[in-house]
Amino acid sequence: AITLARAGLRPVVFERNPGVGGRFAGDFQGFENWSTQEDVLNGLAALGLRVNFKTGAFRRVAFYGPDGRKRELAASRPVFYLVRRGDVPGSLDRGLLEQALEAGVEVRWRTPLRRTQGPTIVATGPRFGDALCVGYTFTTRLPDQAHAILSDRLAPLGYSYLLIHEGHGTIVSCQFAELREWRAHLERTVEAFGRLVPGLRLEGARPFSGYGNVFSPPRLVHGRRLYVGEAAGLQDALWGFGLRYALVSGQLAARSLITGEDYSTLVLRRLLPRIRTGMENRALLEVSRALFGERVYGWLLDRATARPDPLAYLRRQYAPSAWKRLVWPIVRLGMRFRSRYEDRRCRDPGCTCVWCACGTEGSRCLSRA
- Domain containing residue 49: CATH number: 3.50.50.60
Q: What is the mean pLDDT of the chain?
A: 89
Compute, in degrees rounded to 10, the torsion defined by CA atoms 330, 335, 336, 341.
170
For residue 249, give the H/E element and its range. helix 243-259
CB 82 within 8 A of CB 165: yes
pLDDT in tens, 249-278: 999 999 999 999 999 999 999 999 999 999
Domain assignment of residue 218, yes or no: yes
Domain assignment of residue 153, yes or no: yes
Domain assignment of residue 288, yes or no: no
Length of the chain: 369
CB 233 within 8 A of CB 219: yes
Amino acid at 9: L
Domain assignment of residue 347, yes or no: no
Give residue 169's domain range: 2-272
Domain assignment of residue 238, yes or no: yes
Number of domains comprising the chain = 1
Cα–Cα distances (Å) from 87 to 11, 26, 245, in that order, read 22, 7, 21
More confident residue, 353 or 140: 140
Domain assignment of residue 13, yes or no: yes
pLDDT in tens, 160-172: 999 999 999 999 9
| Res. 76 pLDDT band, cuts 50 70 90 | very high
Q: What is the DSSP string of 285-354?
A: HHHHHHHHTTHHHHHHHHHHHTSSSHHHHHHHHHS--HHHHTTHHHHHHHHHHH-SS-------TT--B-
